[in-house]
Amino acid sequence: MNWVSENKFLTGFGAVMLAGVGTLGYFTYSAMDKSDTATAEYKAATAQLKKLNETKPGLMTANLKELIAQKTELADKITKFKKELKDRVLPTETITKVAFQNLLKETVGMLATKAAAANVERPKDFYLGFDRYQSQPPDDKATTALAQELRAIEAVMNVLIKTGNIDLQEFQREPLPEEGGAKAGKQRSSGAHGIERNTLRLKFASKDDALRGVLTGLANHKQQLFVIRTVAVQNKATESPPRTAPAGAAPILPPDAPTPAPTPTPAPTPAPAPTPAPAPAPAPAPVPHDGPLSYIFGTEKITSTIELEILNFSEPKAGSEKPEKGKSKDK
C-alpha cells in the first residue's frame, strides 16, 4: 500500500486546495488584465480630451455655413418675439397738453357712464389717478407718455366694467419720470433692455368669481401686456359662520337654487287628558339645530388688493449695454 491510499483525507484536501489556488490565481490574473486595459483606455481618453480642449477648430466652409444658419434662425426668432411683445403694447401718440386734458375728461366721462351701467362703484371724485391734471395741464415733454398710460388705464377699467358688480375703493397710480415724481424711477425704467414699467394699485370689494374674472382679463389682455405682481385677498366676514343655525332662522340659499315649497301647516290635534305631573327630571343637554344649512360658498364678499405693472417696450439705446465685469466684448 502506498501513502496516497493510506491518507485519503489528506490527499483529497490537498487536491481541493490546489484547485482553489489555481482558480483564485486565474481570477486574479484576469482582474489585473482588465484593470490594466481600463487604465490604458482612461489615459487615452484623457489625452484625447486634453488635445481637443487645446485645439481650435479650423474655419471650414461647412462649419461657417452652419454657424451663419444658426445665427439667422436665432435672429428670426428674436424678431418674431419682439413683434409679439410690441403687438401687446398700446401705440404712442403725439399730443398737446390741452388735447391731453380734453382726452382725459372725455375718457373719465365715458368710463363713468359704462361703470354705472355695470354696477361698478368708484371712489368719490374719481379721475383715473390723473387728479392733478383736472385743473392744470401737464408738461409738453410728458404728454406722449401720459396719453399712452391713459389708454392702458382705460383698458384696466374696461376689464373691471366687463366683470361688473365691483366696488372700487382705491386706485393709485405712480407718477412717471416725465412728470418728475420722486418715486418714478423705481416704477418705470427704460434702460438697456428697453423695458418700461408703470405701476398701478387697485383695491376693490366683490365676490370671489369677480376677482377671478379681473385676474383673467388682465393676464390675457390682447392689446396691453400687464404683469400682476401681488394679489392680497381678505374676507369681509372675519369670523367663521356658526355650525348650527338658530331656531326659526331662514337658510341662505345659492342664487340659482329653486324656491322651496312652503311647508304645510299640520292640523291641530286635540289636547290629551290631564295626567298627574311626574317627578322633576334633570334638564337635558341642548341639542344642535338640525335644520337646513345656510349656503355660504360663493356668496360672501371679499376685499382684493392687486398691484400690477403696465409694460412697454422700446428699442435699447445704442451703446447702453455694458459687458459684465471681468469680461470684454468680442472684436
Query: Is 39 a domain residue?
Result: no
pLDDT (tens digit per residue) in 279-321: 666 655 554 545 555 556 556 789 999 999 998 876 655 555 5
Helices 143-163, 97-117: inter-axial angle, 10-degree rounding: 0
Query: Is 275 a domain residue?
Result: no
Give residue 267's pLDDT. 61
Domain count, the chain: 1
**Which residues, listed in sequence order, are joined to residue 166 by a DSSP beta bridge?**
120
- 255 phi, psi to nearest 5 deg: -60, -35
**Amino acid at site 135:** S
pLDDT (tens digit per residue) in 242-290: 666 555 555 555 555 566 666 666 666 666 666 665 666 665 555 454 5
Query: Is 329 a domain residue?
Result: no
The pLDDT confidence band at residue 330, using thresholds 50, 70 and 90, is very low
Nearest to 229 by CA among 197, 252, 258: 197
Mean pLDDT within 116-141: 94
CATH code at position 191 = 3.30.70.60
Query: Is 244 a domain residue?
Result: no
Give residue 216's pLDDT. 95
Q: How many residues does the chain have?
A: 331
Query: Is 214 a domain residue?
Result: yes
Give residue 275's pLDDT. 63
Question: How close are the terminal C-alpha atoms of the chain, in Å?
Answer: 98
Give percent of the chain with pLDDT exceeding 90.
40
| pLDDT higher than 90, residue 54 | no
For residue 158, what is its C-alpha cell? Answer: 374696461
Q: Which domain holds residue 142?
A: 87-238+299-313
Give residue 195's pLDDT. 80
What is the sign, positive or negative, of the torsion defined by CA atoms of 52, 58, 63, 69?
Answer: positive
CB 296 within 8 A of CB 252: yes
Q: In the chain, what's the furthest Cα-to-Cα distance? A: 135
Side by side, which strands form the sheet with 120-121? 120-121, 166-173, 195-207, 301-313, 226-235
pLDDT (tens digit per residue) in 148-198: 999 999 999 999 999 999 999 999 999 998 887 544 444 344 444 578 889
Mean pLDDT of the chain, nearest integer = 78
DSSP string, 211-273: HHHHHHHHHT-SSS-EEEEEEEEEES--SPPPSSPPTTPPP---TTSPPPPPPPPPPP-PPPP
Q: With a threshold of 0.75, does the pTM exceed it?
A: no
The pLDDT confidence band at residue 85, using thresholds 50, 70 and 90, is confident
